[in-house]
A and B are shown apart, each in its own frame.
Chain A
Amino acid sequence: MDDILVKKSQKVFEILVRENTRMLMVYLRSLVRDESVIEDLFQESMIVAWRRLDDCDLDRPFGPWLRGIASRLVKAHYRKRKLAPIVLHDAVLFAVDRQFEHINLQVGDTWDEKVFALHQCIDELPKKQKGVLIGKYFDSLQTQLLADQFELTYEACKKRLQRGRAVLAECLKRKGVMSTAEAKS
């Protein structure tokens, strides 16, 4: 009997995992750069969630609870390495979480459907910013290589990347995928 219950729990949990994998990967990729660490933290977050499933109020959304676990593991990861990046500031984490909740409210059954506008925003980017962002995120080029390719200084390349992300954020806000500061207040 117990065995059947455990199997059922596992099946239910697998559904939750499938529904939240993309969201959690984006969350971790927002806070951590090292891909192998991201994979580890993904696995640890899900395992902790499984271990503590009895603590989860399933009448409430699973995503924020899962991100809460993940954020604690991310903090522990950086603490071990004696790193305290600005992205871990409580106010930043709170604002990130709010953005994820806003995305969750978008129309669509899957994560891809909810953030579909991102592709449109990338297409609308000015050519220069689009070039560096595609080089960095789609071709996995390091910043120095990108700078050489676009005949920029290293610092100018970083600025262009940063500017490109800001333009994308504005576009996503216009399309309602990301929330605005005004909407918060």
Chain B
Amino acid sequence: MSDQNNDCLSDWLDDDMLPSTGTTDELLGQSSDSIAESILVHGLLSDIGRRDKARDDERIQALMQLINADTLAVEGATEFDEPLAGAKHLLSPTAGKRRTWISILSSALAVAAVVMVMFIVTGPHHNVSAAMTSLEKILSTAAEPFDRTYRVRVVEEYPRDKQPRNLPSDVRDRKVKEQIDGATLYVRGVNQYVLEVMLWNGLKRTSGCDGIVSWAFREDGPVHESMDLNRFRGGIPGQQQDIPFINIHSHLSQLHSDYEVELTLKQETTSSGTIVSQLVGKRKSDGIRGPKVIDLWFDEENGTVHKILLDGLPRGRGGPKSLMLELIGQSELTPQFFSHDSHHEPGRQVRHEDKQ
């Protein structure tokens, strides 16, 4: 391999910071074989270094659940769903695009669950067998259609002069449309949610996902609907952060590697009389996206998260420095609650964004 290609490959594989931009370097001489060998060895080592049999099983299980859900989605498909060549019983083209980028509000719940998993696995007073049992319980609970309602509260805003200087002025001056303070987030299982938020003009915006389609509408406008489950998560503070929510199982390793987790000795009693314990997750480096600190309070008996503080949110697109999510309800919602039909009067115009 040429020195130039060797250096380039070494930068690519071993620089601590992932490159943010770059172009194809010229391939010199017979470098392709030695580059291929080097990256294959890198892949083999990365794989055995991160190998976890339980994770492999979870990954496959999560995938098959998605495929099963996609099949069901097609059974209920409309004339707006474009059929795929050669796949008569499958998805619309966008439904397969299940990238798990998510707003910080929803992701916080996933982070919370993961932080708890970290605690249970690494906690000094749990033996391995009990930890694994608890881990399985939490993972299966996260996938259960279990309803939780959270109220969002802004704890601290960034001062105007603390906004990053490298942003274009139009981005710095852009005002976030939503008043996230006071918003309500309903969550069921791993991929169903409804978020109600007030706009600065006094109108309410409701967005959500029922696991098959995502949707959003203002109280005075049509319903926008998409098979892309992440389509309507924009505009929410923290939405630029790549913290997963939809499929917690497939991202445990990322969160595992990105946060240092510590169990404090602090306990609190909630207004409902539940004693909750504190866990703190600290982001390992500035190169990682996501809040700097995640501070959560949970019921040790059943693992329910009661309070989550997200501190040090990225400032890139406006929004607060710190947010608090507080559990305000666990009552069962109606089966159709996560469908938009449950949130507006009959006959509201619906625009399918996937229609070509």
**Given A29-B42, A52-B87, A161-B13, A40-B250 contact (CB < 8 Å):** yes
For the residues of B in contact with A, the DSSP-based class is helix
Q: Are B13 and A99 in contact (CB under 8 A)?
A: no
Q: Which residues of B contact A14 (CB under 8 A)?
A: 60, 64
Q: Which residues of B contact A178 (CB under 8 A)?
A: 37, 40
Q: Are B21 and A22 in contact (CB under 8 A)?
A: no
- Interface presence of B63 (CB below 8 A): yes
8 Å CB contact of B40 from A30, A142, A159: A30
Q: Are A166 and B38 in contact (CB under 8 A)?
A: yes
Q: Which residues of A contact B37 (CB under 8 A)?
A: 95, 99, 166, 169, 173, 178
Taken residue by residue from 56 to 71, chain B's Cβ proximity to chain A (1 for < 8 Å, 0 otherwise) reads as 1001101110111011
Q: Which residues of A contact B242 (CB under 8 A)?
A: 36
Complex: A46 Cα to B247 Cα, angstroms: 15
**Given A35-B50, A89-B27, A17-B39 contact (CB < 8 Å):** no
**Given A46-B63, A50-B67, A140-B257 contact (CB < 8 Å):** yes
Complex: A152 Cα to B45 Cα, angstroms: 22
Q: Are A143 and B14 in contact (CB under 8 A)?
A: yes
Complex: A176 Cα to B19 Cα, angstroms: 34
Complex: A17 Cα to B68 Cα, angstroms: 14
- Interface presence of A94 (CB below 8 A): yes
Q: Which residues of B contact A55 (CB under 8 A)?
A: 85-86
Nearest A residue to B287 via CB reads A142
Q: Which residues of A contact B16 (CB under 8 A)?
A: 142-144
- Interface presence of A31 (CB below 8 A): yes
- Interface presence of B5 (CB below 8 A): yes
Shortest CB–CB separation between residue B72 and chain A, in angstroms? 10
Q: Are B56 and A83 in contact (CB under 8 A)?
A: no
Q: Are B43 and A29 in contact (CB under 8 A)?
A: yes
- Interface presence of B89 (CB below 8 A): yes
Complex: A173 Cα to B40 Cα, angstroms: 12
For the residues of A in contact with B, the DSSP-based class is helix
**Given A6-B89, A44-B96, A52-B87, A27-B43 contact (CB < 8 Å):** yes
Shortest CB–CB separation between residue B18 and chain A, in angstroms? 6
**Given A17-B60, A83-B22, A162-B36 contact (CB < 8 Å):** no
- Interface presence of A84 (CB below 8 A): yes
**Given A52-B86, A92-B27, A169-B38, A39-B47 contact (CB < 8 Å):** no
Nearest A residue to B27 via CB reads A89
Complex: A39 Cα to B38 Cα, angstroms: 22
- Interface presence of B6 (CB below 8 A): yes
Complex: A29 Cα to B25 Cα, angstroms: 21
- Interface presence of B76 (CB below 8 A): no
Q: Which residues of B contact A161 (CB under 8 A)?
A: 10, 13-14
Q: Are A29 and B46 in contact (CB under 8 A)?
A: yes
Q: Are B39 and A84 in contact (CB under 8 A)?
A: no
Shortest CB–CB separation between residue A17 and chain B, in angstroms? 6
Shortest CB–CB separation between residue B213 and chain A, in angstroms? 17
Shortest CB–CB separation between residue B246 and chain A, in angstroms? 10
Taken residue by residue from 169 to 188, chain B's Cβ proximity to chain A (1 for < 8 Å, 0 otherwise) reads as 00000000000000000000
- Interface presence of A66 (CB below 8 A): no
Q: Are A39 and B253 in contact (CB under 8 A)?
A: yes
The interface centre, meaning the residue of A21, A89, A138 with most chain B CB atoms within 10 A of its CB, is A89
Q: Are A54 and B87 in contact (CB under 8 A)?
A: yes
Q: Are A181 and B244 in contact (CB under 8 A)?
A: no
- Interface presence of A10 (CB below 8 A): yes
Q: List 10 A-B contacts (CB under 8 A).
A: A21-B60, A30-B42, A30-B46, A36-B244, A40-B100, A51-B91, A84-B24, A91-B32, A100-B40, A118-B44
B: residues with CB less than 8 A from A are 5-6, 8-16, 18-25, 27, 30, 32-50, 56, 59-60, 62-64, 66-68, 70-71, 84-91, 96-100, 242, 244, 247, 250-251, 253-254, 257, 285
A: residues with CB less than 8 A from B are 2, 5-6, 9-10, 13-14, 17-18, 21-22, 25-31, 33-36, 39-40, 42-44, 46-48, 50-55, 81-89, 91-92, 94-96, 98-100, 115, 118-119, 133, 136-138, 140, 142-144, 157-159, 161-162, 165-166, 168-169, 172-173, 178, 181, 184
